[in-house]
């Protein structure tokens, strides 16, 4: 049963917990620049993720690994300048928090101070527990990320569904509980069986945001460029395309080229 949407002037980490209590689903999309963030926020999306997926979408890398902390801060600061309502969560990039809790804290502080973001997101469970604690102790909100964790792609060797086997599923449930007890305000579950994701969502008090994790969780996240069809090569089962901008933009560019070549643009009305 759907729940009436409540109007929130500003989304905070507390708002998301309240939304879960009310049974209101949480919407989350990515943004990496001012213009896209302004549109996404203006549409009323609850959480704007400045994802390390910028490494793929904006820079053309095969994985999320190459993007740097400085680059993430650049993207995040561009997004923050556009936001009036949504909660801005910024990925801490690979290599900036895993090995040393002190480095994790320095990275999180830089993101918060230099970008103005509202929270950070990290991938992993027990293995990064100390880094999460150090960041939280500084008063910085942390969103967790379990299941398929793209920063560990070379460890997994594949982007297939995670936690299908009992042992990995149990570890995921244990890690989710650990993240909640540590103080994370929400967790992203990526590419895990829907039944498992629903079980996790029901067992925790903090929101579970799914991507390829079924409909039994507390909210959903997609990469904006994928769901509006600017990218067209990426076609996972969980992706619903709401537009086909790749085709529409290509048509517009072709029309522009034709008009320039023919001398039709600019017309008399389009010049001084």
Question: Which residues belong to the active site?
Answer: 190
| 90, 117 Cβ separation under 8 angstroms | yes
Residues 6 or more apart whose Cβ sits within 8 Å of residue 42:
none
CA dihedral for 115, 118, 122, 126, sign (positive or negative) = positive
Sheet strands (E) in the chain = 26-30, 47-50, 87-91, 119-121, 142-147, 186-190, 208-211, 219-222
Q: For residue 57, how many other CB atoms are within 10 A of its CB?
A: 19
Place of tokens 């759907």: 2
Report the alpha-carbon distance of residue 41 to residue 209 in Å, rounded.
Answer: 18
Q: For residue 161, how many other CB atoms are within 10 A of its CB?
A: 17
| 90, 115 Cβ separation under 8 angstroms | yes
Distance of CA 261 to the CA centre of its chain: 41
Q: Which residues pair with 26 in a beta bridge?
A: 219
Report the alpha-carbon distance of residue 202 to residue 208 in Å, rounded.
Answer: 9
The first and second tokens of residue 222, run together, are: 């997609």
Residues 6 or more apart whose Cβ sits within 8 Å of residue 3:
22, 23, 24, 25
């Amino acid at each position: 049963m759907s729940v009436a949407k409540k109007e929130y002037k500003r989304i905070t980490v507390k708002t998301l917990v309240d939304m879960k209590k009310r049974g209101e689903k949480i919407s989350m999309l990515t943004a990496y620049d001012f213009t896209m963030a302004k549109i996404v926020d203006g549409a009323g999306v609850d959480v704007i993720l400045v994802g390390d997926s910028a490494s793929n979408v904006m820079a053309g890398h095969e994985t999320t690994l190459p993007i740097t902390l400085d680059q993430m801060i650049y993207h995040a600061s561009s997004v923050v300048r556009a936001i009036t309502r949504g909660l801005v969560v910024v990925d801490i990039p690979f290599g900036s928090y895993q090995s040393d809790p002190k480095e994790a804290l320095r990275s999180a502080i830089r993101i918060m101070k230099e970008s103005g973001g509202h929270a950070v997101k990290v991938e992993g469970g027990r293995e990064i527990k100390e880094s999460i604690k150090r960041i939280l102790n500084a008063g910085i909100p942390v969103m967790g990320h379990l299941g398929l964790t793209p920063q560990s792609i070379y460890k997994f060797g594949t982007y297939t569904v995670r936690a299908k086997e009992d042992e990995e599923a149990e570890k995921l449930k244990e890690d989710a509980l650990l993240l909640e007890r540590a103080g994370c305000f929400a967790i992203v579950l990526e590419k895990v069986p829907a039944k498992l994701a629903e079980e996790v969502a029901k067992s925790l008090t903090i929101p579970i945001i799914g991507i390829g994790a079924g409909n039994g969780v507390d909210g959903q996240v997609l990469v904006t460029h994928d769901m509006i069809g600017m990218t067209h090569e990426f076609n996972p089962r969980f992706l619903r395309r709401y537009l086909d901008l790749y085709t529409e933009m290509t048509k517009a560019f072709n029309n522009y080229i034709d008009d320039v070549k023919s001398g039709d643009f600019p017309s008399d009305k389009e010049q001084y």
